[in-house]
Structure 1
């Protein structure tokens, strides 16, 4: 383990993160809010801390190893979760505890969208834009952005990219150089964000809300500047824009890149994961609309169509925007939506969940085992599209799934032991580990009323969900620390 290399990178990244305190401070200054000062204080603390960590080892120039990358990624997200809470804790407009501040910060950075803050409509705009900004940065991954910048400072980035990038395939590069890959992803991400903000503005949102919601839409985060979320606008046009960019954010960004570079949309439909993604969301939306209409939960066919489709897309992709209290819907619908979030979005997207490609592979592996019962000696390949996958990939997916189930069970039991009921504990863990946000039971409207122990456990779940479990678990194995 190269501790000095890790120390140098961590110091650099903290100093880079300190700059993100300035835009909210500028917003506070523009609107004449006192909330600008906590952000300036946080900027100074972060910059000084990063400088203290970096200065003693700034001359170190050694190649970053894969194991070092895992440590840097985990430490950086933990540090950001704590330091990102600083302006929220320091701002007197919120009056929240350290636990609540860290919970809100971690929820934003991991694009979970679970909140402990209420009365959003009355908060200073500096705080509102900061929450949205946290999600935007976490959407594609702050480390991927750093990969594009750190080579300029003398630090290689491939190890960081492998450790942070979501999805079962970590080594695929869109361009020959990892720096160019990171830049390509961010150009696409930025382009979608700008387009989303302009679309929101065009359908009636004021500029501030349009920019703020574009941050949490493209990142599939789900934070809003209003307590009623997207339902505040009661606009079919706003919901249509949200659905469009949510669906785009849930697609593998490699497909977006290939489509943009080749100027052809054929790459989308040729991809088995994309076709499965569309099929799952469409099916859940159809079931939601049909059951809402059957139970007469909503008034009129158009309202039923709007609510059913929007909630299916938002919850199914782990975004978490709402237009109604879906947790009060009748029958099985709330649970169906939560279960859909377990599948989540595509690999290498901004969404959470197990990922569509893993779900597809688990399904195909199950099919193979059924066929083997009939034909025990048959050699049957698991294929995605026309490509046969090695057993190593299938085994890795099963390994991820088993680790996911084990982590889910442990955290859920811990929450129940702390006093939460079964429905609340189950949905809170699902919403956190899948980076979804809204839950059922006591965490349907918000997470402010659950106990502090549960909030810290859910912070761990959010982090493990964002880093796809193994990035965290690998640091807990003795083999990782052996020389």
Structure 2
């Protein structure tokens, strides 16, 4: 283990990240709020900590190994949760402790969107901007993590694409090629964010709301500037715009990279994961829309349609925006959408969950086993799109799904043990491990009423879900620390 290299990288990342605390200062000055002090103090603390970790080893040179990578990724995301919570902890406009501050920060950076805060409409705009910015930075961090770091470590969901998609694979090292890919992804991410913000503004949002919501939309994070979320605007057009950009954020960004490089959308249409994902979305929309019509939930079909589209896209991808209270919807609909978040979005996207590519392989594998029961002597090759999927990949997928579900079940039991009722515990765990944010029962409005122990369990869930489970779990194995 190269601890000097790890300290150097972690320190450099913190130094770079410290400057992300400055935009909220500018927002405070622009709106003349006088709320910049917590951000300036947080900036100084983050910069000094980063320099303290980087300076002693800035001349150290070594090659980053997979074990080092696991530790760097886990430490950075964990430290981000603490550092990012400083503005909440130091703000005189909030009365939160360390637990709530860290929870809000981790929720932002993991693009979960679960919040312990209330009365968002009355908070300083600098804090609201910071919440949205944590979503946006976390979303881009997730894309780079999924497309560059995790495949290099051999545990990401992108191995199936290594033969057909330019960019890093699990066998590549940190080279200029990865840097070039990450740079192109940043351009795409920023461009989509700008377009989204412009669309929101044209639909009636102020520029501040439009920018903040575009940050939370592309990142599928779900933090809003209003307690009523998108329901504050009472606009079907805004709901449709949000749905479109949520689905873009939940699409594999490697496909956007290929489409941009080839100047053709062919890669999007030919991708089997995207087709499976859109098929799921269509099925969800048909079921929910039909249910709303059957129960006369809204006065017009237009309302049925845009609320259906927004809630399906938002909840199934782990975004967490809401456009209306779903408490008066048919009972099975909220539970179905919460369960759909376990599948989530595509690999290499900002969405949470198990990822569509794994769910699709589980489905196809189950179908193959049924065929084998009917024709025991038959030879059936499992293909995903045009690619043959070998049994080693299937074993890895089943192993991931099994561990994911097991952690979710154990987490529900652990949260229940803190005195929380089952429905609240289940929805809280689903909301955090799937990076969804929206919950039912006791967490339908806020996570602030949960016991502190439960909040720390949910913080761990957010990190586990965001880092693809094994990235963190491997640190708890004795063999990882053996030289």
Superposed pair shares fold, TM > 0.5: yes
| Cα distance change, pair 309–164 in 1 and its aligned pair in 2 (3 A) | farther
Aligned counterparts of 1:168 and 1:7: Cα–Cα separation in 2: 28
Contact 1:344 1:354 in 2 (8 A): yes
- Of the candidates 166, 169, 173, which is equivalent to residue 174 of structure 1? 166
- Normalising by the residue count of structure 1, what TM-score does the alignment of the two structures yield? 0.95
- Within a 5 Å distance, the mapping from 1:75-474 to structure 2 comes to 75-141=75-141, 144=144, 162-163=152-153, 167-169=157-159, 172=162, 174-175=166-167, 177-474=177-474
Aligned counterparts of 2:160 and 2:72: Cα–Cα separation in 1: 17
Write the deviation string for residues 113-149 of structure 1: whole angstroms up to 9, x where unpaired.
000111000010000000000000000217939x9xx
The more displaced of 265-274 and 58-67 is 265-274
Aligned counterparts of 1:436 and 1:268: Cα–Cα separation in 2: 25
- Normalising by the residue count of structure 2, what TM-score does the alignment of the two structures yield? 0.95
Aligned to 1:138, the other structure's residue is in SS state helix
Aligned to 1:35, the other structure's residue is in SS state coil
Q: Partner of 1:44 in structure 2?
A: 44
RMSD: 1.9
Task: For residue 55 of structure 1, report the CA deviation from its aligned partner.
Answer: 1.6
**Runs of 5+ in structure 2 lacking a partner?**
169-176
Q: Partner of 1:152 in structure 2?
A: none
| Cα distance change, pair 293–271 in 1 and its aligned pair in 2 (3 A) | same
Aligned counterparts of 2:240 and 2:248: Cα–Cα separation in 1: 12
| Cα distance change, pair 362–326 in 1 and its aligned pair in 2 (3 A) | same
Aligned to 1:381, the other structure's residue is in SS state coil
Aligned counterparts of 1:331 and 1:315: Cα–Cα separation in 2: 15
Aligned counterparts of 2:39 and 2:328: Cα–Cα separation in 1: 38
Task: For residue 163 of structure 1, report the CA deviation from its aligned partner.
Answer: 4.9
Q: Partner of 1:12 in structure 2?
A: 12
Task: For residue 365 of structure 1, report the CA deviation from its aligned partner.
Answer: 0.7
Task: For residue 165 of structure 1, report the CA deviation from its aligned partner.
Answer: 9.1
Aligned to 1:342, the other structure's residue is in SS state coil
Write the deviation string for residues 82-131 of structure 1: whole angstroms up to 9, x where unpaired.
01100110001011111100000000000000001110000100000000
Contact 1:246 1:314 in 2 (8 A): yes
| Cα distance change, pair 69–440 in 1 and its aligned pair in 2 (3 A) | same
Task: For residue 410 of structure 1, report the CA deviation from its aligned partner.
Answer: 1.2
Aligned counterparts of 1:373 and 1:142: Cα–Cα separation in 2: 40
Write the deviation string for residues 176-228 of structure 1: whole angstroms up to 9, x where unpaired.
71111111111111111111111111111111111111100000000000011
Q: Partner of 2:23 in structure 1?
A: 23
- Consecutive aligned runs of 4 or more in structure 1 exceeding 4 Å deviation: 157-161, 163-166
Aligned to 1:343, the other structure's residue is in SS state coil
Task: For residue 331 of structure 1, report the CA deviation from its aligned partner.
Answer: 2.2
Write the deviation string for residues 25-51 of structure 1: whole angstroms up to 9, x where unpaired.
111122122220000000000101111
